[in-house]
A and B are shown apart, each in its own frame.
Chain A
Amino acid sequence: MSNRTVNINVHHVTRVEGHGNIVVNATNGKIEKLQWQVPEAPRFFEAMVRGRSYEDIQTIVSRICGICSISHSLVATKAVENATGIQVSEQTDRIRLLLHYSEQLQSHVLHVGYLVAPDLFGVPSVVPLVGIAPGPVKTIIGLHRLANEWSALLAGRITHPVTLRPGGLTKIPTEAQLRELQDRLRKCLPDLKAVADVVLSVAGNLPKFERPTEYVSLKQTQPPTYAFYHGEIASTDAKSTVAVNDWKSVANEYVNDQSTAKWAKWHRDSYAVGALARFNNNAELLSPTAKAVAKMFGLAKGCCNPYFNSVAQIVEAVHVVEVSIALIDTLLTKGLKAETVAVSPKAGKASGAVEAPRGILFHEYEFDRKGNCMSADLCIPTNQNHANIQKDIEKLVPEILDEPEDQIRLKLEMLVRSYDPCVSCSTHMLDVEFVR
């Protein structure tokens, strides 16, 4: 064992969404403090939505997160509909799913291309990458733009959707627009493959670290689908799934002194959500090209290296493009119909769940008979990951304590980044503090 004295204090980890700190204090090889802290200013959304109409909820809560605003809007709309007894058509359901896929691509490309890649190339941001790897950066920019334009087509704008309303959509795309989108999606598959090849060339820089972990995600059996939008709650530690309305028996949220965000645990002291969790629960349901990309990286079910979450995101980026091409075929074959939305909400309480790009997301609301919100309970993916990040840090630091301080710091920052934390969602996080 090392006799090193190390003090690391990363105050506000960079290249993540929101504020988090990492603090490491070790004296003569004895670790005194290892903390993942979340000091983000809390915003109290669950309190703020009280009294607001069922038709305004998604507009408010999408503001929880700029990067996953589509997931927040979708899950809020689903939960509102579940609580107030509003049904939607198959067409609405399919278009919403297509919108949801666009956010997965946008967020995964942003995370892998702009936030993680600089670590793999040993530079501080994507800007110097333009000089080192201009071709791949251009490809990534093109993919990010495509994903954003895809979102804007279906959401009315890129961030904070305005086409979702309880019972349906305010606007649907034309068949010509869908055909054009489908064409662009077909053409972007080689670009995604090229990005995967570039990441593979530097994947050796992903730290080799493993910690047996419980992975939680949605699982959809009817029909069997790599689940983002439908299904029940599954865990690598459990044989059967749990109904979405019972998510509180899964998350078991608690408040921790280190954090303005809540923490979660289920079968163990912590669990992980996100791309790697979805992969570990559903890998056999990936599209053919996505399976091939996973194989290329040696990513297989049971992987418990958190740094490989970024690889799982690349795999999923390929998957959502491939299944969206097929989904557009279904929409076009059925033919798009203008639908009028007439809803009359009932009093009620219920939940909804979707997979945000960074993991499973739950919203629960209760409404009175006029459709005014009485209470809300929101459970954010990054909250569910906080305890797991802490447990990873506790195992990782003793393993790397002999390495140069810069290296320890980098590996810790990379660890936090690999979870693709969305701290303003969960409130906020990330600083690495070395105390000497």
Chain B
Amino acid sequence: MAKPKIAIFDFACCEGCQLQIVNLEEEILSLLGVADVVEWREAMSEKSDEYDIAIIEGSITRMEDEERIKRIRGCAKVLIALGACAATGGVNKLKNNFEDFEEVKKCVYGKAAGKPHLRTGVTKAVGEVVQVDYCVPGCPIDAKEFTYIVRSLLLGKTPEIPEYPVCVECKANGNPCLWQYDQVCLGPIIRAGCGARCPSSGFRCFGCRGYVDKPNVEAARDVINRYGLSVDDLKTKMVLFGSRQEPTIYE
């Protein structure tokens, strides 16, 4: 059997998720033993239109990028959204909270904001433009979870990512609850799988992996009430990585 061909593409993002692939170090070489990476602009000079698996990093923010992702989807048998920007829109969706994009452009580019190459549209996750087969959540992705997902696909298995919240892993790590230290932590409603890395370093979960499929809204309310906070306090933190995707939480 021929080795499956993998291509990696990036859209609007910081390219930090690709960096986590680089950070696999020697493990990349063993991945290359079972698959051919045919295009990866950040690391290689080669380019190709023939691939089985397309790995997409970044959000879609412009019409030309919508066309590009549709072309890629047309070539790929399997399409993976890599990291928060691709999977949920990530921090890029903060822009969507401003109704007037002209004002947003002026804020950054001043009088030059009208130039055609500075146009921008609503920030979209990849799945809002084309069908996504699998997501690797997180900002940035967890390299181990990435290899697990790719390995599963290469073996013909369906990868499974946790459907329980970060609190589960945080408790397992034996951490004190950050709510007791006046931090508005999103652990109760955000998907686990990161090993609760941030709360384990004393920093609140800010939700980079997105919400669990069925967030326990009552538990979140309970925590808010217990610490004398309001839904608005929670919202100010949810907005960082959860802008425009939180309908079930505070309706």
Contact = CB atoms under 8 A, between A and B. Distances in A.
A48 B105 CA distance: 11
Interface string B172-196: 0000000000000000000000000
Nearest to A430: B41
B20 A47 contact: no
A39 interface: yes
B91 A124 contact: no
A412 interface: no
B104 interface: yes
Contacts of A325: none
A40 to B, nearest CB: 8
B140 A159 contact: yes
A148 B201 CA distance: 16
A47 B104 contact: yes
Interface residues of B, number: 59
B112 interface: yes
A100 interface: no
Interface string A78-104: 000000000000000000000000000
Nearest to A53: B236
A176 to B, nearest CB: 17
Nearest to B44: A125
Nearest to B92: A43
Interface string B87-110: 000111011001000011101111
A63 B14 contact: yes
A337 to B, nearest CB: 16
A156 B16 contact: no
B15 A63 contact: no
A162 B203 contact: yes
A358 B75 CA distance: 36
Contacts of A64: 14
A145 interface: yes
A283 B230 CA distance: 54
Main secondary structure of the interface of B (DSSP, over half): helix
Contacts of B198: 156-157, 162
Given A67-B16, A158-B23, A160-B16, A170 B202 contact: yes
A66 B115 contact: no
A194 interface: no
A262 B105 CA distance: 13
Contacts of B41: 12, 14-15, 19
Contacts of B25: 141, 144-145
A424 B17 CA distance: 13
How many A residues touch the partner, as a band?
Answer: 35 or more
Interface string B29-46: 100100000000111111
A266 to B, nearest CB: 19
A260 B12 CA distance: 12
Contacts of A207: none
B153 interface: no
B229 interface: no
Contacts of A165: 203
Contact of B14 (A65, A141, A158): A65
Given A63-B139, A114-B43, 10 more contacts: A39-B117, A44-B95, A44-B108, A46-B107, A49-B94, A50-B107, A59-B240, A127-B44, A156-B197, A156-B202
28 contacts: A14-B43, A14-B44, A14-B47, A15-B43, A15-B44, A15-B45, A16-B42, A40-B12, A41-B11, A44-B107, A47-B104, A48-B94, A52-B236, A52-B240, A60-B91, A63-B16, A63-B91, A66-B18, A69-B14, A118-B45, A125-B44, A125-B45, A126-B43, A130-B29, A145-B23, A156-B198, A171-B201, A257-B115
Lowest 8 CB-CB distances: which A-B pairs, in order? A66-B16, A156-B201, A170-B202, A255-B112, A124-B45, A125-B44, A162-B203, A48-B94
